[in-house]
């Protein structure tokens, strides 16, 4: 958007005293670190208590400018939607909202041991859905959920698929990527990248890998299960430690490697190094990891949930698994990783599939949505008696 001459300001909560109040991400994009609560990460249960402080910081930033400085608000996730709702009325500008995940959907597909989202979040989401001028859904499935479960106005819901940075996530040398990550060139690499929490189901990959070794014991010296990510949400109580214990109990501790969250080119190297990237989530509004991996030329095996059937072209760029059963996952992973011809076909198709989801395409769709939101907001204001 900045490259198209649109000024963007991002408001986010400061998590360190070393973060400057305002920083330029790239020309045309400012990031404002709002002090709201302690300078440290907070759990999702603790964040709602900081809504007042965060809202105050957002409103103060606008107060230093002439009225009309901000032309539109795009909030992401329900907490930001609550802030955007108040700022919308204060500033007299339209509100566009993207939920990313929905409590009612998550609660209908909980992983074993995961805690349901609280009623306060459900109520907060319902309020934002009611107040937003436009709602951006990642897929038609999510659009239907907003309408069916939250009573959203169908005319206000716009489907915009997320985009991938195709300059960063692109095909590259698998052997070079493995060398940089310290992986054997002839290894069979199954990778997971994402938050370490029950919703993302990294344990499904470990169970599947153990099952695969039962079926193919000759792979014991070649198999590498690469788990990349850090704890988040309900995973903060357990984190990677639980996965390490699970790997030990399954007898695959030697085959499993853990890496902290990676960003930028390092994450692309992880994708390139893998034979297959697994996305076994219990729910995904879209599944950007799946697209990023495919953009790097790596096939994906994903759960057939949420937006993943859009992110992955089943039977062409990867496979969708209709359950979280370890045997089904072991079969799917092996059918790609251990079949060079099939993997090569999937890899070529994966790159073509991912190219349909560029940043440029997403920007075009979002700008169209912003125009629709502005028109809707103007029409609504014209109906209000003076």
Quick check: 292 and 169 in contact, CB under 8 A?
yes
**Is residue 272 a known part of a binding site?**
yes
**Is residue 44 a known part of a binding site?**
yes
**Is residue 12 a known part of a binding site?**
no
Helix (H, G, I), strand (E, B), or coil: what is residue 122?
A: helix
| CA-closest candidate to residue 223, choices 251, 254, 249 | 254
**Is residue 265 a known part of a binding site?**
no
**Is residue 342 a known part of a binding site?**
no
Helices (H) and strands (E) in the chain, counts: 14, 13
**Is residue 168 a known part of a binding site?**
no
**Is residue 77 a known part of a binding site?**
yes
**Is residue 292 a known part of a binding site?**
yes
Laid out side by side, the sheet with 95-98 consists of 73-76, 95-98, 134-137, 157-159
Strand-strand pairing, 29-34 and 73-76: unpaired
Residues 195 and 261: their CA atoms lie apart, in Å, by 8
68 CB-near residues (< 8 Å, 6+ apart): 92
**Is residue 101 a known part of a binding site?**
yes
E strand spans, the chain = 8-13, 22-26, 29-34, 73-76, 95-98, 134-137, 157-159, 188-193, 223-228, 256-259, 276-279, 300-303, 318-321
Quick check: 142 and 102 in contact, CB under 8 A?
yes
**Is residue 200 a known part of a binding site?**
yes
Q: What is the DSSP string of 133-175?
A: SEEEESSHHHHHHHHHHH---GGGEEE----B-TTTS----HH
238 CB-near residues (< 8 Å, 6+ apart): 231
Q: Which residues are annotated as a binding site?
A: 44, 77, 101, 121, 195, 200, 262, 271-272, 274, 284, 292, 298
Q: Which residues are annotated as a binding site for UDP-N-acetyl-alpha-D-glucosamine?
A: 195, 200, 262, 284, 292
Q: Which residues are annotated as a binding site for Mg(2+)?
A: 271-272, 274, 298
Q: Which residues are annotated as a binding site for 1D-myo-inositol 3-phosphate?
A: 44, 77, 101, 121
């Amino acid at each position: 958007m900045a490259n198209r001459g649109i000024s963007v300001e991002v408001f986010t909560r400061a998590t360190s005293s070393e973060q400057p109040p305002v920083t330029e991400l790239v020309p045309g994009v400012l990031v404002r670190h709002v002090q709201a609560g302690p300078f440290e990460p907070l759990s999702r249960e603790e964040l709602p208590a900081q809504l007042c402080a965060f809202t105050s910081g957002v409103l103060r930033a606008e107060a230093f400018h002439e009225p009309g400085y901000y032309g539109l608000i795009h909030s992401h996730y329900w907490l930001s939607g609550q802030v955007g709702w108040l700022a919308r009325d204060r500033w007299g500008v339209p509100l566009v909202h993207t939920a990313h995940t929905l409590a009612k959907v998550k609660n209908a597909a909980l992983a074993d041991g995961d805690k349901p989202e609280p009623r306060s979040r459900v109520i907060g989401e319902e309020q934002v859905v009611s107040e937003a001028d436009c709602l951006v859904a990642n897929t038609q499935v999510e659009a239907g959920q907003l309408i069916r479960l939250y009573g959203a106005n169908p005319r206000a819901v716009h489907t915009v698929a997320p985009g991938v940075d195709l300059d960063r996530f692109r095909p590259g040398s698998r052997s070079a990527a493995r060398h940089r990550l310290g992986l054997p060139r002839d290894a069979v690499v199954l990778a997971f990248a994402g938050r370490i929490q029950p919703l993302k189901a990294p344990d499904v990959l470990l169970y599947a890998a153990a099952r695969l070794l039962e079926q193919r014991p000759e792979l014991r010296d070649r198999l590498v299960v690469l788990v990349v990510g850090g704890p988040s949400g309900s995973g903060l109580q357990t984190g990677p430690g639980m996965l390490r214990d699970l790997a030990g109990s399954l007898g695959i501790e030697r085959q499993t490697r853990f890496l902290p969250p990676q960003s930028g080119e390092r994450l692309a190297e992880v994708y390139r190094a893998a034979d297959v990237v697994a996305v076994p989530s219990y729910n995904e509004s879209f599944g950007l990891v799946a697209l990023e991996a495919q953009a790097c030329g790596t096939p994906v095996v994903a759960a057939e949930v949420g937006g993943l059937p859009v992110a992955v072209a089943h039977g062409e760029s990867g496979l969708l698994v209709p359950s979280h059963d370890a045997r089904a996952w072991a079969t799917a992973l092996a059918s790609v990783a251990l079949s060079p011809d099939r993997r090569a076909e999937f890899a070529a198709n994966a790159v073509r599939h991912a190219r349909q989801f560029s940043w440029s395409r997403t920007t075009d769709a979002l700008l169209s949505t912003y125009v629709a939101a502005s028109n809707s907001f103007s029409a609504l204001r014209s109906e209000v008696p003076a």
